[in-house]
Amino acid sequence: GGPSFGPGGRPMTGGRNTRPGQFGRPRPGGGSLPRKPVQVSTQEMASHKKVIKIEEQVTLQQLAAKMSLKATDVLMRLLSMGMTGVNINSTLDADTAKILASEFGWSVEDVAVSEQDTLTAAMQAGTDTDEEVEIRPPIVTVMGHVDHGKTSLLDRIRKASVAEGEAGGITQHIGAYRVETPRGTIAFLDTPGHEAFTAMRARGASLTDIVILVVAADDGVMPQTKEAISHAQAAKVPIIVAVNKIDKPGADVDKIKRDLAALGLQPEEWGGETMFASVSAKQGTGIDQLLESVLLLAEVQDLRANPKKRASGTVIEALLDRGRGPVARVMVQDGTLRTGDILLAGAAWGKVRAMTDELGRSVAEAGPATPVEVLGLAEVPSAGDPVHAVKDGKTAEEIAETRRKKASKTLIPQDSRVSLESITKNLQEADQLELKLIIKGDVQGSVEAITHALAKLSTEKVKVTIVNGAVGGITEGDVNLAVASKAIIVGFNVRPAGKAGALAENEGVEIRLYNIIYNAVDDIRSAMEGLLPATKVEKVLGRAEVRQVFKITKAGIVAGSMVINGSVKRTAEARLIRENVVVWTGRLSGLRRFKDDAKEVVEGFECGISLDGYSDIKERDIIESFEIEEIKTKL
């Protein structure tokens, strides 16, 4: 309902009032209707055949504009088709757009162009010749359950130690390192190891040649271990198992082998194909054997790349540095990246101004399987974005723009997009509570990981909506958005900037700051449970039978009673039951044993009971003592 607003806050009309079936061209400059809505073009091939061209998806508002119809009319038609939870800004997939447009006598044509074709031309990639192709180092991802010693193992391999300073022992940012061994070079990729990092880990597995799966010998196979295995198997990446902590008491390597064999990782010595290495990251034993296994497997894989061509690779991590601007940590997978190259990274592009290796030394070029930090992009790309060096800035800008348009569509969470399946799936969302969050993090990977982890908390009872997620400190703009959308701000490794903290306090906006993703997830889960109404449960404490009724001057009517089970409490609720019918419910005004006030009288003892404001008590009545407990509803 209400007007929708276009650029600059001007109300946008839905064209002139046109009844379905009575169509004309949109009048020139009619209302403030945009002449060219994003990626939608109309073509009247013949008076009877009206065609709308879209690229994969289109918003309901754009579709209505191209049909010269009011967006509200088109929305009403969509609602009448059985759709719920949609508005004029909802994104329609091509199939839904076709069906909806056909209701108004239009047809829809999907004209999405293959971006790959443009990219191949931009990289001027020819066929690699045998002379140009060389063997390259393997890219190895270390995966495994949290606390199984992944980081310590990498530290031992790198002869360095970052594990100490890591909050909660979690690798908060993906790191990449090159390790020189007597037999050759290996590039290592370190991914955070919690269940919440599905998205990041799935990407990690897609840019890797070998996975080292770290399993603690004294702990065994955990849910995250299984998840890592399924990622690697889905990406068809071979696994080497590093059984860590073999120095610990209770270490049982054979049990680990049996458990992993049941998951499809059959050890070589049992006739399978999986290499196992027993290691102790703490003592440094078995590390050489592990690296030997990696290089042996890499040799079998015959990994090759052409260092003479333009570079391609993947963004491992990206952040906005106050002094240096957007910084992308990139793993070059093929070709050679040089300073001065035009680089396209996801929807960001720029000229490579400077590059540094993992030790912070300046480098002029980076060949295959080399991680480097790149400066010069105009904006921060996302972790996992593909990276390509292209021939010129014009092409880079065109491809980046296309990707940006696509991304603006995919920013809409999957479940709020309108598709044919969602028409058939009528959700009763009226009963669903909603917790809205604004997420700010220090780097793109953190924002994505935490957004993914929190979005997964949505249940049938409480829906988690991520209003916005971005890199950087918490600003006044974030607080104002939180006020407008009634959201909580979640900060990860960031703090409120400038006056944002004071503004939040004045406006009553809650800011929660974290440096460990688990804590954020647990906290938000508790907040969600706090939204749910508590369940009230009655707990019967005991019953007393009235044996005799007395009238006492000061106390009024007193029931001389025997507690026949449980206990009767002075502060609890009570009900009077006569012949199995409740005749009164309230509280006790007195509970005495002989002449003394009592807090509680237990089974087998006599007592005097007075009811608050009620005196019609008869012999053989039952007085029941009970409490109401509020039980917190779990998700």
Cβ(528)–Cβ(604) below 8 Å: no
Q: How far apart are CA 75 and CA 87, in angstroms?
A: 7
Tell me how crowded residue 248 is: count the other CB atoms within 10 A of its CB.
14
What average pLDDT does this structure show over 438-467?
83
What average pLDDT does this structure show over 293-320?
87
pLDDT at 43 over 70: no
The per-residue pLDDT for 37 is: 37
Tell me how crowded residue 92 is: count the other CB atoms within 10 A of its CB.
27
Q: Is 132 helix (H, G, I), strand (E, B) or coil?
A: coil
Q: Give the ranges where 331-392 is alpha helix by DSSP (H).
A: none
Provide the pLDDT confidence category of residue 606 given band limits of 50, 70 and 90: very high
Cβ(336)–Cβ(344) below 8 Å: no
More confident residue, 329 or 44: 329
Structure tokens that stand for 144 in this block: 């495994």
Worst-scoring range by mean pLDDT, 299-308, 410-419, 602-611? Answer: 410-419
Q: How far apart are CA 265 and CA 241, in angstroms?
A: 9
Over residues 48-95, the pLDDT tens digits come to 468 888 776 788 888 998 898 988 889 888 888 877 777 887 888 788
The per-residue pLDDT for 541 is: 95
Structure tokens that stand for 83 in this block: 């759709």
The per-residue pLDDT for 162 is: 37
Q: How far apart are CA 224 and CA 143, in angstroms?
A: 9
Non-local CB neighbours of 170 within 8 Å, separated by 6+ positions: 146, 192, 193, 194, 516, 517, 518
Percent of the chain with pLDDT over 70: 77
The per-residue pLDDT for 426 is: 36
Over residues 344-402, the pLDDT tens digits come to 988 888 999 999 887 778 899 999 988 899 999 988 887 778 889 988 888 888 888 87
Tell me how crowded residue 587 is: count the other CB atoms within 10 A of its CB.
12
Structure tokens that stand for 187 in this block: 């590039």
Over residues 477-503, the pLDDT tens digits come to 888 888 877 888 999 888 888 788 888
Q: How far apart are CA 557 and CA 548, in angstroms?
A: 11
What average pLDDT does this structure show over 436-452?
85
Over residues 3-39, the pLDDT tens digits come to 443 444 444 444 444 444 433 334 443 333 333 333 4
More confident residue, 25 or 450: 450
Q: How far apart are CA 92 and CA 108, in angstroms?
A: 12
pLDDT at 608 over 90: yes
Worst-scoring range by mean pLDDT, 164-168, 193-197, 210-214, 412-416? Answer: 193-197
More confident residue, 129 or 169: 129
Structure tokens that stand for 99 in this block: 């069906």
CA-CA-CA-CA torsion for 461, 462, 465, 466, nearest 10 degrees? -140
Structure tokens that stand for 56 in this block: 């994969």
Domains and CATH numbers, the chain: 51-110 (1.10.10), 137-302 (3.40.50.300), 312-410 (2.40.30.10), 429-532 (3.40.50.10050), 535-632 (2.40.30.10)
Q: Is 205 helix (H, G, I), strand (E, B) or coil?
A: helix
Which amino acid appears at position 432 of this protein? Q
CA-CA-CA-CA torsion for 88, 92, 95, 101, nearest 10 degrees? 20
Q: Encode 431-452: b = buried (16+ Cβ within 10 Å), e = exposed.
A: eeeebbbbbbbbbbbbbbbbbb
pLDDT at 635 over 90: no
Structure tokens that stand for 172 in this block: 């908060």
Could you tell me the pTM of the whole model?
0.52
Over residues 129-158, the pLDDT tens digits come to 667 788 899 988 888 766 666 677 777 777
Cβ(15)–Cβ(68) below 8 Å: yes
More confident residue, 236 or 73: 73
The per-residue pLDDT for 18 is: 40
pLDDT at 407 over 70: no
pLDDT at 166 over 80: no
Q: Which residue, 13, 51, 9, 49, is CA-closest to 31?
A: 13
Non-local CB neighbours of 206 within 8 Å, separated by 6+ positions: 235, 314, 384
